[in-house]
Amino acid sequence: MKRALISVSDKTGIVEFAKGLIEAGFEIISTGGTKKTLLDHGLEVIGISDVTGFPEILDGRVKTLHPNVHGGLLARPNDSAHLAQLEEHQIQPIELVCVNLYPFQQTIAKPDVTPEDAIENIDIGGPTMLRSAAKNHEHVTVVVDPADYPGVIAELNENGQVSPAKKRQFAAKVFRHTAGYDAVISEYMTELAGEENPESLTMTFDLKQTLRYGENPHQQASFYKKPLGSAFSIAYAEQLHGKELSYNNINDADAALQIVKEFNEPAAVAVKHMNPCGVGTGDTIAAAFKKAFDADSTSIFGGIIALNREVDLETASMLKDIFLEIIIAPSFTQEAFEILSVKKNIRLLTVSFDSGVKDERKFTSIQGGLLIQDRDTYGFEEATITVPTKRQPTEQEWEDLKLGWKVVKHVKSNAIVVCGEGMTYGVGAGQMNRVGAANIALTQAAEKAKGAALASDAFFPMDDTVEAAAKAGITAIIQPGGSVKDEDSIKKADEYGITMVFTAVRHFKH
């Protein structure tokens, strides 16, 4: 009679699966809680100690790490020497293994988890059995995913065995599963040990969505999420309505979310192609959105909107008349949802703003490698603020400068933002020289530039940006400073009566 070894933490579907195996001619070996579950349902089960001839010891830490188990898993039935050794040592082959592992990820997700609890939930015997069976998958069926149980039983009932192709697929899934399991443990232990730059880096991500295509229709793409990743993210957003997200939607939505999190007051952010085209703040979310829309009513067409307050009826009434790809918010009132969901394709997403932003590093792939850095979370309050010009900012100018500084760090470099009265007036993004970016932002701002503030993500290499700003009517500038020609910019600002603030922090975004 064929043997199946079953040992699972997740008992979903396991009784039905075991019944199907028994009906297909298997006898069941099991351990601990799994054995009890099967016995409680009237199934005949062989205890693991009856196979090993040794009791489970050390509170269950050692029970399956035994030659009678791994010899049965790793022996090749078409190898006469292997069969002779099995007979010599009275080891019976095991033809099927069904194992899932101690819930390490679920354990460390608990807010009050201790290192002792986490370490106790590192599975040793389970991954070892899975790897043994997967290595010998030509002869052993190894199942790690409850979703695969019905397919296994169907093949056994139809063909008397699981096909070689399916066995190989299951083995590949096992190695992905154990690699992912170890990656989560590795990350936890590395953080616990306080190591910032380990000699190697292993990461795992779970498939969230297979995308229709990537940046362009000829590129294939998928969307994966990080286990235990930040709840304040597009990866963990809940989609309430609309067609599935695309590759570009996800990138743009993430950019919008990263900007809107800068604000505590009601704020609205419009994004196109990873850059903000309009940002507004106000006493209400409707007022904030009105400013974001007015900032650039042309570019917002087909854009992504992120709001940091619940979408109410007044805001939804404005949103519904614009062609938008996505609206992201903490929530939607029932009236707002009913108005917006009339549009079949618009995606309505909610994100947990109350969960806070988890401290995660930023990964950027390059051909053949990976760049890793801390996220740019440096805020105005942390900056070393100095005013090198003769004139100090007015109270209103300080507010405008702070708004510009929050936005400019999310604009592709070289970046310039012109703003005032709680909204952006012009955005110059991704230019090869700074004055070029300034000219774009100032041209877009037009007459609104008079009396407005200008923010730059990096220092001015010469005074031409200040000159352009002054001629457009800018009265306040914020920039990092640090150029060898800072004095030229300071003198130019003083010449035009402009107040200029240095932060000593640049915000390059490539």
Residues designated catalytic:
135, 273
> Rounded to whole angstroms, how far apart are CA atoms 298 and 427?
13
Measure the CA–CA gap between 39 and 30, rounded to whole angstroms. 10
Question: In the numeric block, which tokens belong to residue 503?
Answer: 């932060």
Please say whether the beta carbons of 406 and 431 come within 8 A: no
Q: Count other Cβ atoms within 10 Å, centred on residue 208.
A: 16
Distance of CA 52 to the CA centre of its chain: 44
Tokens of 416: 């310039």
Contact present, 66 and 42 (Cβ < 8 Å): no
HSE at residue 491, side-chain half, CA atoms within 13 A, is 7
Q: Please answer whether residues 462 and 488 qualify as being in contact, where contact means their C-beta atoms are separated by less than 8 angstroms.
A: yes
Both tokens of residue 359? 């401290």
User: DSSP readout, 272-329?
Assistant: ETTEEEEEEE-SSHHHHHHHHHHH-TTTTTTEEEEESS-B-HHHHHHHTTS-EEEEEE
Torsion of CA 506, 508, 509, 510, to 10 degrees: -170
Element (H, E) at 504: none
- Residues 127, 137: contact at Cβ < 8 Å? no
Tell me if residue 143 falls in helix, strand or coil.
Answer: strand
